[in-house]
Structure 1
Amino acid sequence: MKKLLIATLVAGSMGTITLPAAAEVIVVRQGPPALRAERVPEARRGHTWVPGHWEWKRNKHTWVRGTWVRDRRGYVYHQPTWAERDGRWVMTRGNWARGDRDRDGVPNRMDRDKDGDGVRNSQDSRPNNPNRN
């Protein structure tokens, strides 16, 4: 009986494991107002600027001011966007996606030059040289 109870609890808890959230999508009938003018501050090392944008909250468009978000290594930040589809407005919230860490156009999983010096890691005596790139 005790084993059956434990097995039931374990099986029931499997449904409560959280998974990484995909970008949230919101669909409304009313399009967002024009973007507001916003001064973009100077670049901050290790951060990405997320410009101000309209979000749908409490059945109306609400302005969210621009902010800095800390960079995530190996990821690229996709800005929040609004798009009209079939007479409805679809908002995709900003999110992080796996990207090109060294921005050389080669996906990370295919990248063979980690420090960006132009020498393949297999032929580089110091492939992770922190003083490069």
Structure 2
Amino acid sequence: MRKVLLCAVAAAGLAGGLGAAPCALAQVSVNVSIGVPPPAPVYEVVPVARPGYVWAPGYWDWDDRGHKHKWKKGRWERARAGYIYEAPRWIHARDGWMLQPERWEGRGDGRPGRGYKGYHCPPGHAKKGEC
């Protein structure tokens, strides 16, 4: 009886874990517009190149708690074959300033991406003429 109970508990735990897996893989993206433009960029000395890495420059991020811009220092990102790193940038939209997060642009087939010309406009913004 004890063996049957242990097997039932183990099966329930496994089934519960499999049921939660899709939720753990979900991604959420939120765009927030603010009325305050970002300050001028802070000058950072770009370190000597590191093989296999891409320099991600520093940028102004928005601090919701302090309601002000906060500088995020540049850092090294591991390079991804077939992709080009695009740094975060502020876009002036109709409703204010919006931070476009960093991303990796590419085709996924080993060939380089299109850079800024391949920029994807967030849903609903192209119709408003914001991209």
Under a length normalisation based on structure 2, what TM-score does the superposition of the two structures give? Answer: 0.59
Counterpart selection for 2:62 from 56, 70, 87: 56
What residue identity is the alignment partner of 1:36? V
Amino acid at match of 2:110: R
Amino acid at match of 2:81: R
Counterpart mapping for 1:83-94 below 5 A: 83-94=91-102
Q: CA deviation at 1:48?
A: 0.6
1:16 to 18, 23, 29: 23
- Matching residue of 2:110: 101
- Structure 1, gaps ≥5 residues long: 106-133
Residue 41 in structure 1 maps to residue 50 in structure 2: no
CA contact (8 A) 2:86 2:104 kept: yes
Q: Could you say what the CA RMSD is over the residues aligned between the two structures, in angstroms?
A: 3.0
Q: What percent identity do the matched residue pairs reach? A: 31
Q: Which runs of 5+ in 2 are unaligned?
A: 1-7, 115-131
Deviations 1:35-80 (A, max 9, x none): 1111111211111111111001222100011111111223221110
Instruction: Show the counterpart of 1:70.
Output: 78
Structure 2 partner of 1:80: 88
CA separation of 1:35 and 1:96: change in aligned 2, threshold 3 A: same
Q: In structure 2, how many angstroms separate the alpha carbons of the residues matched to 1:46 and 1:85? A: 35
Query: Higher mean Cα deviation, 56-65 or 96-105?
Result: 96-105
Aligned residues: 99
The answer as to whether partners of 1:24 and 1:92 remain within 8 angstroms in 2 is no
What is the distance in 2 between the residues matched to 1:104 and 1:81?
A: 18
Higher-helix-fraction structure: 2
**C-alpha distance in structure 2 between counterparts of 1:12 and 1:41, whole Å:** 45
Structure 1 contact 23–93 (Cα < 8 Å) conserved: no
Whether contact under 8 Å (1:23, 1:94) holds in the other structure is no
